[in-house]
């Protein structure tokens, strides 16, 4: 339809503007002998479907395109920006790509960056709190929290490394399970029942139809609408980057109950769950 054509045309323009901005930075750094640090995301690992890439494939620092699908427009612009930087590096640019992880609240005090409302992971937490349920099948799913202040320190260290090393995964080496987060939310005061997966899916769909704030569960709809055997997120590794950071005397903080409780309290003070 005409609306769809207009939508995709707008996306193409935005994509071109973003990539053009990176290309301008590349030219500036080349012409002035400066090092370019491109901040990207490990989400460029994208998704697999029907075995391509294989579900067992791990996205590493020396990977860029491994056959993954990238449908999210924001992530696609990051992918194209990386490609532009890496092509320039192959031609002599002194540049690095630092892919960050799940940016979360400061480790120091739990405070969030100003754009926390657009974070997809946080929006899913708001959905669980609104529905009051969480699927048993998701309890053992791994989650990663990269405190924004810790990430900034890691980026500063990596930005000073030898120019032979170009791509890094600056994300927390310490992972938790979703169960840790759900129990922390329950401890804080949210009533979230752990239910069978099918009961959770039914509750989300019912809330979306009848709830006063259906937007609260918009981030959960994807969970209930696809077959994980057909579409799956490609996992990543940050082993190489972690080894580099150890050599630079930097260690990621552990995501413990204190951190989770501070993060939930900070979000609640910002009326995020209202």
The predicted-structure confidence for 194-225, as pLDDT tens digits, reads as follows 999 999 999 998 888 886 666 777 767 655 55
pTM, two decimal places:
0.88
Instruction: Find the largest Cα–Cα distance for the chain.
Output: 60
pLDDT of residue 67 exceeding 50? yes
- Tell me the Ramachandran region of residue 92: left when phi exceeds 0, alpha when psi lies from -120 to 50, beta otherwise: left
Beta strands in 90-237 (DSSP E): 95-100, 103-104, 133-135, 142-144, 146-147, 167-170, 175-177, 193-195, 231-233, 235-236
pLDDT tier, 15 (very low <50, low <70, confident <90, very high otherwise): low
Flag the least confident range among 6-15, 23-32, 160-169. Answer: 6-15
What ranges do the domains of the chain cover? 2-269
pLDDT of the residue at 254 = 96
Give the H or E element holding residue 41. Answer: strand 36-41
pLDDT of the residue at 225 = 54
pLDDT tier, 98 (very low <50, low <70, confident <90, very high otherwise): very high
pLDDT tier, 231 (very low <50, low <70, confident <90, very high otherwise): confident
CA distance 192 to 61: 37
CATH topology classification for 2-269: Rossmann fold (3.40.50)
pLDDT tier, 75 (very low <50, low <70, confident <90, very high otherwise): very high
Residues 6+ apart with CB under 8 A from 99: 40, 41, 42, 44, 61, 167, 168, 169, 170, 171
């Amino acid at each position: 339809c005409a609306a769809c054509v207009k939508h995709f045309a707008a996306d193409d323009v935005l994509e071109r503007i973003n990539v053009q901005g990176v290309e301008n930075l590349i030219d500036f750094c080349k012409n002035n002998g400066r090092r370019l640090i491109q901040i990207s995301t490990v989400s460029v690992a994208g998704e697999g479907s029907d075995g391509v890439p294989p579900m067992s494939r791990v996205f590493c620092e020396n990977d860029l395109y491994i056959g993954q699908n990238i449908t999210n427009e924001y992530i696609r612009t990051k992918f194209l920006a990386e490609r532009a930087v890496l092509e320039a590096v192959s031609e002599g640019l002194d540049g690095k790509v630092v892919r960050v992880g799940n940016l979360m609240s400061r480790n120091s005090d739990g405070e969030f960056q100003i754009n926390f409302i657009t974070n997809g992971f946080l929006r899913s937490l708001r959905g669980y709190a609104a529905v009051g349920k969480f699927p048993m099948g998701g309890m053992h799913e791994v989650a990663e929290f990269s405190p924004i202040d810790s990430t900034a320190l890691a980026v500063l260290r990596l930005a000073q490394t030898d120019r032979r090393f170009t791509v890094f995964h600056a994300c927390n080496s310490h992972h938790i399970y979703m169960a840790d987060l759900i129990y922390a939310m329950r401890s804080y005061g949210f009533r979230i029942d752990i239910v069978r997966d099918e009961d959770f899916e039914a509750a989300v769909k019912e809330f979306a139809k009848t709830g006063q704030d259906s937007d609260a569960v918009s981030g959960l709809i994807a969970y209930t609408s696809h077959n994980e055997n057909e579409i799956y997120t490609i996992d990543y590794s940050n082993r190489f980057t972690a080894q580099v950071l150890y050599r630079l005397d930097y260690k990621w903080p552990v995501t413990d109950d204190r951190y989770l409780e501070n993060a939930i309290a900070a979000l609640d003070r910002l009326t995020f769950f209202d």
